[in-house]
Amino acid sequence: MIDIDLLLAWGATYKKLDPGEIIFKEGSSCQFYMQLVSGSVKWFNIDEDGKEFIQTMIEPGECFGEIPLFDGGTYAATAVADDPCIIIRLSKPHFLQLIKENPEIHFGFTKLLAKRVRFKFVLLKSLALQTPEARISTLLTHLKKENKNICSECNQLNLTRQQIADMTGLRVETVIRTMRNMHEKGILIIEKGKVYC
């Protein structure tokens, strides 16, 4: 999102995280702008039964947890390092001054937030109205369009079946069965356990 050298010039610092380490919890206050440098971050909610719903998997170069920077509220979801990670963090006051002095960055955030809200509308519609195949297809179409969680060279999906289940509100067994049916229909390819879009 933001050039690392610019973040460092404004006082940002790096932080290393181990797999499973909590970056922030749903409902906690926001102190930093965060951008992933390496690894992956799972951004999720947990329902009253303890089931995870993955909002998104963050990849290097992406920011996450930015909503409270703009609305002053608390975090809407929990973020956890999925792999060994390095993030770069800039304090909230410095971030707000940075975007005031750099309107093109502020406009970039406006576009990013609009894209994320649009995807949530599409995903909510598929969760409410569609079959498991349509839910998975909606997710895969979005990921491919955004070039996210899919290898740009070989089209391999970089999500587990469990992560797909947690992103679509389905059971993992349903995802496995549905993806096998999608493979048989030629919608996607499954080869040696790997999924290609």
**Residue-wise pLDDT tens digits, 146-180:** 888 898 888 899 999 999 998 888 999 999 999 99
Q: Which two tokens stand for residue 158?
A: 């970089």
CATH number of the domain at 130-196, out of 3.30.565.10, 2.30.180.10, 1.10.10.10, 3.30.930.10? 1.10.10.10
- pLDDT for position 129: 65
Residue 77 contacts residue 32 (beta carbons within 8 Å): no
CATH code of the domain occupying 4-105: 2.60.120.10
Question: Mean per-residue pLDDT for 29-53?
Answer: 92
- pLDDT for position 10: 97
Give ranges for CATH 1.10.10.10 in the chain: 130-196
